[in-house]
Amino acid sequence: MGGMNQATGNLRDSSGAAVRPPIAWALAAIAGFALDWLYPLPFLPAAVPAGWLGGIVFLAGLALLIWAVATFLRAGTQIQTTQPTTTIVDEGPYSFTRNPIYIGMFLGLIGLAVAFDSLWLIVLLVPFYLVIRYGVVAREEAYLERKFGNAYLAYKARVGRWV
């Protein structure tokens, strides 16, 4: 049974994630804004500077995501879940969490929820988390265990999944 080659996307040497995480993030954000447009559900007191606070949280998530991506690029490994991983990255944000890109995405959604005072975006964190946790992270962890064995297990024992 042959897998696809690298030119067309090597399916055998990748995590086999159920969805591309940026697509899942965009769908959650779009759905949250659509639901908020149809039936607004504010959740913050009027005195809260929602725009500023949400903007800060969103930018913190974006900064973490950029730092994580830059760390991957410096290590020379792939970011996309459809591509082979070439090394275990345990520097930068990967020294305190195995999933800084996804944490950045979570913070981004929380920031948008606060900035736009939309309970819908908070509610959609639940399905987004479940998709990322079980459709992406679980598959990535199994893939990395198969590919890197004890080296990945040691990293996994040393650094938490989220924090």
Please compute the mean of the pLDDT values over residues 147-156 and round it to a whole number.
Answer: 96
The rounded distance, in Å, linking the Cα atoms of 128 and 118 is: 16
Q: Is the pLDDT of residue 1 over 50?
A: no
86 occurs within a structural domain: yes
pLDDT band at 154 (very low <50, low <70, confident <90, very high): very high
48 occurs within a structural domain: yes
23 occurs within a structural domain: yes
2 occurs within a structural domain: no
Residue with tokens 């973490």: 64
Q: Which residues contact 139 (CB under 8 A, 6 or more apart)?
A: 15, 16, 17, 18
* Nearest to 124, CA basis, from 35, 59, 44, 45: 35
Q: What pLDDT sits at residue 7? A: 38
Q: Is the pLDDT of residue 9 over 90?
A: no
Q: What pLDDT sits at residue 142? A: 93
C-beta of residue 65 within 8 angstroms of C-beta of residue 106: no
39 occurs within a structural domain: yes
Q: How many residues does the chain have?
A: 163
4 occurs within a structural domain: no
pTM of the model: 0.89
Phi, psi at 90, each rounded to 5°: -130, 25
153 occurs within a structural domain: yes
* Nearest to 20, CA basis, from 97, 89, 101, 92: 101
C-beta of residue 6 within 8 angstroms of C-beta of residue 131: no
Q: What pLDDT sits at residue 81? A: 84
Q: Is the pLDDT of residue 8 over 60?
A: no
Q: Is the pLDDT of residue 156 over 60?
A: yes
11 occurs within a structural domain: no
Domain count along the chain: 1
Q: What pLDDT sits at residue 78? A: 84
Please compute the mean of the pLDDT values over residues 25-32 and round it to a whole number.
Answer: 98
Q: Is the pLDDT of residue 50 over 80?
A: yes
Phi, psi at 96, each rounded to 5°: -125, -10
Please compute the mean of the pLDDT values over residues 59-66 and round it to a whole number.
Answer: 98
Domain span holding position 128: 18-158
Question: How confident is the model over 88-121, as pLDDT tens digits?
Answer: 999 999 999 999 999 999 999 999 999 999 999 9
